[in-house]
Every structure is written in structure tokens, then in C-alpha cells.
Structure 1
Amino acid sequence: MTDVFNAVPTSQLQSKWIWFVGLGVLLLVCGLIALGNLMLATVVSVYYVGMLMLFGGVTYLVHAFQVRGWDHVLFWVLSGLLYVLAGICAFINPILTSAALTLFLSLALVVAGVFRTWVGMRMKPTRRWRFIVASGVITALAGFVIALGWPVNSLWILGLFLAADLTIQGWTMIAFGLGIRSGPVDSGASAPLSDRSF
């Protein structure tokens, strides 16, 4: 009875495999379009961040009138106004915003890479610690290279990240859709002899 309940979600997914493949193809096409025009993709990503900031700012402002105490209201109002102003700035001057976001991205990569390298060095007695250190060094170097090319590279770095993300997500969805189309893996081969029916 348990096997029947476990098979229901898989069969429902299996009947919709074409939707996953279609979504993957759409994401892949969008990724290739973004890769073909990185500056436009950068502007699109800045507008996306701007919309998120505007939405967050409006949410903060609405929440400000639901809390008690002037100190709490002032905090939420100032936070909301800051988010709204940042979102408006993203729409008014996307080039300046892309430069700020690229600088923030480079700093975040450097900090994450240094922290990952430090964690890897502390795991030195364990196996595979060199892989963690290597990934940390590569991440930190990527952030350092982006910082060296700033602000000129801010015209295409965010677009490149967006294009890479869309392409990876597209291939992932296509692989997932084709994978569930072929059905679940036969678990009979791994079952013990006593559980098999002859």
C-alpha cells in the first residue's frame, strides 16, 4: 500500500514532463538571448532588482503603520524609504545602479571566498579539504578580478551572471523533464531476495 502512495506523485509528474522540457527550452533561449546582448541583460537584471526593492520598500512602509511605538515606526519608515529610493534609482539610472551592484558582488565574492578558504584550512585533517580551499580561492579570485575591472565591467557582469543562471536553469529543467519521462528507476533489482516475488 505504501508503494502505491509513493508512486502517485511520480506518475503525476511523469504526465507533465513536456511542461518541464518546454520551460527549460524557454529559459535556455532567454539565456542565449541574454548572452548575445550582455548590456541589455544587465539593464534587465537591474530593473528586476529595482522592482524587488520597490516591493520591499512598500512592504516596510505598510508594516510601519501596524507597529506601536515611535522608535519602531521610525525604523520601519526609514527602511522603507531607503528601499523605495534605491528602487527608484535603479529605474532612473540603471548604469549607476549596475556599477554599485557589481562592486557589491565583487566584495561579496571576495568575502565568501576568503571565508570558504578559512573553513577549508580548518578542515585540514579531514579528506577532500583541498577542494574546499580551492573553491574558496577561485571564488575570491573571481571577486578580485571583477573588482579590478570595475566600473567598466559593470556594463556586462550582471548580464553575464543572468545569462549563465538562465542557461543552467534551462538545461536543468530539460534534463529533469526528460528524466521523469523515462519513469522511476526500477527498485526490484536492489531489493533483497526474500522480498521478490517469483
Structure 2
Amino acid sequence: MSSRTSSLSTASAEALRNWRYLLGVGIVFSLLGAVAILAPFVTGIGLSYLLGGVVLAGGVAALVQALRVRTWRATIWQGLLAVVYVVAGVMLLANPLVGLVALTLLLVAYIAVSGVVEIAMGLRLRPAARWSWFVASGALSLALAALLWIGFPSTAAWAVGLLVGVHFLTTGVALIAAGYETRRTAGVESAPTADTEPRSG
């Protein structure tokens, strides 16, 4: 057996071992996405709690770092910044609706900025093939951002959870498809071919 055949067999075996991992992760993402889509408000509140916990942890870490600084001016400024983080984290945990509203505003801003970037990218690619797809995608993003902004703050109840759920679901489906494609490709590569079969003398 040649070194090339041996390396192909090793790669195929590795791919066959990994396809189950891709499949399992894809199923988990798909289930999380489906739950988020069915309960977008609960998902948004959960993300708000997560944001509050992260901000609070960052504030505590900043406070510890401020106490280690030797110069008093740096200690004061870092201490004030840490207090702001801690207060913000406590507020988000105490009232997750505030965090959900903030997340919705960030989501609207992100969608609007990405839409502008896509339109600019499409115009720069003109007259290359499919440049209009970027412009159309950017226009749809701007329209979605406008709808979320017009409906604000009522859109805060579902926008974040729904879009996160759709993202998780599509990611999960893509991972599942990648897992099955990896298994199929590895199975084809590991099958004996005319070049690899031993020849009779």
C-alpha cells in the first residue's frame, strides 16, 4: 500500500469518526433553535440574564484588578469602571426586561449596519456576477431593521429570541447536512478502487 493510499485511508477513518460528532452537535443546535422559535420571549429573557451575569462577572474581575494596581489614580479609575459594570450587571439581573430592550436595540443596529455593508459591497462588485444579490440582501436587512424599529418596544418581546432561534436552527441543519456529507464522502473514499486493489502477478 502506497503512502498516498495510507493517508487517504487515515483521513477517511478520521472523517467517519467525526461525522457522528457533527450530527450530534447539529441535532442539539436544531432543538435549541426550535425551542427558541416556539418561546422567543423566554429565550430573550434568558439571554438577558446571561448578559447580566457576564457584565457582573466582568465588573468583579475589574474590581479585583483595580485592587492590585499600585498607583492610586489608576485604582480610582478602574474602581469606578468596575462599580459601573457591577451596577449594570445587578440591574440586568434584577430587571431582565431592561437587558432585553438593550439587546433588541443592539440587534436593530447590527442588522442595519450589516445591510449597509452588504449594499456597499454589492455596488463595489458591480458589474461582477451576482452583485445584485448582495444589494438585495442588504436592502432586506435594512427593511427588517426598519420594521423592528417601527414596532419597538413591542418587538423586544420576540425579535431577539426569534432571530437567535432561527440562527441556531439553520446552523443545526447545516451541521447535520455536513455530518451526513462527511460520512458519505468518507465512505466513498474508503471504498477500494481499481488503483488500490492488489494486482495478481
> Does TM, scored on the shorter chain, surpass 0.5?
yes
* 2:166 corresponding residue in structure 1: 164
Change in 2 beyond 3 A, CA 1:135/1:14: same
The CA deviation at 1:88 is: 1.9
Please give the residue correspondences for 1:45-64 in structure 2 after superposition, counting only pairs within 5 Å: 45-64=47-66
Q: 3-state SS of the aligned residue for 1:184? A: helix
Report the TM-score, using the length of structure 1 for normalisation: 0.78
Q: CA RMSD in A?
A: 2.9
Q: 3-state SS of the aligned residue for 1:182? A: helix
* Match of residue 181, structure 1, among 156, 160, 183: 183
Equivalent AA in structure 2 for residue 32 of structure 1: A
* 2:97 corresponding residue in structure 1: 95
Change in 2 beyond 3 A, CA 1:85/1:10: farther
Deviations 1:90-138 (A, max 9, x none): 2111112211221221122223322332333233344432222222211
Equivalent pairs counted in the alignment come to: 191
* 1:130 corresponding residue in structure 2: 132
Change in 2 beyond 3 A, CA 1:97/1:179: same
In 2, Cα distance between equivalents of 1:81 and 1:28 = 39
* Match of residue 118, structure 2, among 116, 129, 135: 116
Report the TM-score, using the length of structure 2 for normalisation: 0.77
In 2, Cα distance between equivalents of 1:74 and 1:12 = 54
In 2, Cα distance between equivalents of 1:7 and 1:65 = 57
Percent identity, aligned pairs only, is 27
In 2, Cα distance between equivalents of 1:69 and 1:131 = 55
Provide structure 2 residue ranges, at least 5 long, that are not aligned to the other structure.
Answer: 190-194
| 8 Å CA contact 1:45, 1:162 repeated in 2 | no
Deviations 1:134-186 (A, max 9, x none): 22211111111110110011011111022112212221222222223234386
In 2, Cα distance between equivalents of 1:26 and 1:106 = 27
